[in-house]
Amino acid sequence: MSQLLYTFSSSHTAMEAELLCEDAGHPCRLIPLPSMISAGCGLALLCPDAYGAAVNHLLTTHRLHLEGLYQGGGKTWEKVCHDLS
C-alpha cells in the first residue's frame, strides 16, 4: 500500500507535526528517515495515503515548514513536492 512521507529540516517541527496528527486522530508517526532520502532532520512523518489531504491541511494551517513530500513505501520513495502552499 502506498504511503506518504513528510520530511522537515527541523526535528522540533517534525515532532509538532506528529503531535498535531495525534490530536487529530490521524494514524501518522515519526520514523527515522529512509537512507535514500538525504538531508533533513533525520526524521520523517509516515502517513497512510488516505490521510494526505488532511495532513497537508494541518501542516499548512499551522504553517509548519516542510522540506519534502515523498510517496512510496519500503525502500522506494519518489519526491512529490517541496512545498504544500
Partner 1 sequence: MIYLDQSATSLKKPAEVARAVYQALTGTLGNPARGAHQAALEALKAVGRARRSLADFFGVGPMDLAFTPNATYALNIAIKGALSKKDRVLTTRLEHNSMLRPLYEMQAQGMALDFVPLNKQGFYHWADVRSALRPDTTAIAVNAMSNVTGDIAPLPEIAELCFKRDLLLILDLSQYAGTRPLPVMKNHPRALIAFTGHKSLYGPQGSGGLIRRGPVTLRPLITGGSGVLSFSHTHPDSFPEVCEAGTLNVPAILGLEAAVKWLTRQGLMHVQEQVDALRLQLMEGIQSIPHLKVYGAQRDAGPVAAFNIAGMDSGAVSQLLDEQYGIMTRPGAHCAPLWHEAMGTREQGAVRFSFSCFNTQEEIDMAIAALRAIAKTAD
The residues that touch partner 1, with contacts defined as CB under 8 A, are: 9-13, 15-16, 18-19, 30-33, 39-43, 62-65
Q: Cβ 77 to partner 1, closest distance in Å?
A: 16
Instruction: For residue 63, give the C-alpha cell.
Output: 504553517
Question: What stretches of 4-71 show up as alpha helix (H) in DSSP?
Answer: 11-24, 52-61
- Angle separating helix axes 52-61 and 11-24, nearest 10 degrees: 120
Q: Cβ 9 to partner 1, closest distance in Å?
A: 6
Q: Cβ 41 to partner 1, closest distance in Å?
A: 4
Smaller CB distance to partner 1: residue 22 or 50?
22
Question: What stretches of the chain show up as alpha helix (H) in DSSP?
Answer: 11-24, 52-61
